[in-house]
Amino acid sequence: GQNIDQPTEMTATEGAIVQINCTYQTSGFNGLFWYQQHAGEAPTFLSYNVLDGLEEKGRFSSFLSRSKGYSYLLLKELQMKDSASYLCAVRASNNAGNNRKLIWGLGTSLAVNP
């Protein structure tokens, strides 16, 4: 089967650093996405990794290890507005070669406290 695992909830303090992990088991791999979703809003795109290594974008960085089926999202200098759910999603190939559909994790709800 195809599966994505991420922690259900995390808490952190304003100004700190937090790492949200995501592990996946899929039949193939063609990219991993992180999205942010504030309560009552739609998901918004944060980052994309397809090669091993770290992608940095301002306060947010995302890491990928394809051999380990593992990614993390690193949030630095946390702000109250970073309180949201963070979704990990993988594009996996299927037998029909239709690999545009994403497999979604259930999301990690991050609470940033003052």
Q: Does 106 bind other proteins (CB under 8 A)?
A: yes
31: left (phi over 0), alpha (psi -120 to 50) or beta: left
Give the nearer residue to other proteins in terms of CB position, either 16 or 111: 111
Which position has the token pair 């979704």?
Answer: 87
Contact map string, positions 21 to 60, toward other proteins, x by CB under 8 A = ----------x-x-------xxxxx--x-x----------
3-state secondary structure of 113: strand
Which positions touch other proteins (CB under 8 A)?
31, 33, 41-45, 48, 50, 87, 91, 98, 100-102, 104-107
